[in-house]
């Protein structure tokens, strides 16, 4: 069921613990079954921690958003512009670095809603395209992005522990 009462709001520094919790939970739920546990443990030692997320939040070119229910955040979005983008770093691009929905809330158009927010932000900032990287084995997410208008334009490497993975880079051009 689509819930139209979801409120999308900027994440404040006082919500760091909630951001860390949902970041780690959604990452593990999505990828634990498809990765070596040692590689994931190595990755999560210095990624998606209170410390790393606090540094990311302090970057003026990165923004975090929660999709909120009364019970708390059920999805989140991280977007980057300028130098905060993980690649390309073109001034006319906006990167969706992370978009994650809690497992029991997936398939209810929250992802679609967060993509729409990212596109709105890109337009407000006079960007001409939105881009992202997605693991080549994450078929559901690739399909989801394609349904939302993104097309593959390149590949890059992404390291999880000792595992070198390939991310597909996808782009949505704005009119």
Ligand X SMILES: CC(C)(COP(=O)(O)OP(=O)(O)OC[C@H]1O[C@@H](n2cnc3c(N)ncnc32)[C@H](O)[C@@H]1OP(=O)(O)O)[C@@H](O)C(=O)NCCC(=O)NCCS
Q: Which residues are catalytic?
A: 145
Q: Which is nearer to ligand X, 93 or 111 (CB)?
A: 111
Q: Which is nearer to ligand X, 122 or 134 (CB)?
A: 134
Judged by the rule CB under 6 A, the positions of this chain that interact with ligand X are: 26, 30, 99-101, 106-112, 134, 138, 140-141, 144, 147
- Paired with 45 in beta bridges are none
* Residue 112 CB coordination number (10 Å): 12
Closest residue to ligand X, based on beta-carbon distance: 111
Supply the minimum distance, in Å, between the C-beta of residue 108 and ligand X.
5
Supply the minimum distance, in Å, between the C-beta of residue 27 and ligand X.
8
The string over 49-78, giving b where at least 16 C-beta atoms fall within 10 Å of a residue's C-beta and e elsewhere, is eeeebeebbeeeebbbbbbbbeeebbbbbb
Query: What is the Cα 8 distance to its own chain's centre?
Result: 14
Q: Which is nearer to ligand X, 122 or 144 (CB)?
A: 144
């Amino acid at each position: 069921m689509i819930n139209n009462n979801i409120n999308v709001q900027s994440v404040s520094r006082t919500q760091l613990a909630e951001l860390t919790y949902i970041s780690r939970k959604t990452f593990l739920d999505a990828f634990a079954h498809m990765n070596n546990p040692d590689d994931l443990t190595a990755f999560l030692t210095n990624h998606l921690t209170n410390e790393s997320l606090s540094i990311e939040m302090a970057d003026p070119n990165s923004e975090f958003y929660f999709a909120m229910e009364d019970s708390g955040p059920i999805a989140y979005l991280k977007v980057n512009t300028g130098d905060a983008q993980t690649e390309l770093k073109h001034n006319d691009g906006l990167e969706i670095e992370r978009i994650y929905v809690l497992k029991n809330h997936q398939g209810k158009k929250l992802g679609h809603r967060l993509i729409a927010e990212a596109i709105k932000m890109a337009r407000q900032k006079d960007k001409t395209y939105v881009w992202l990287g997605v693991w080549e084995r994450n078929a559901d997410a690739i399909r989801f992005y394609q349904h939302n208008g993104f097309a593959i334009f390149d590949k890059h490497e992404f390291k999880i522990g000792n595992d070198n993975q390939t991310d597909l880079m996808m782009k949505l051009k704005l009119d």
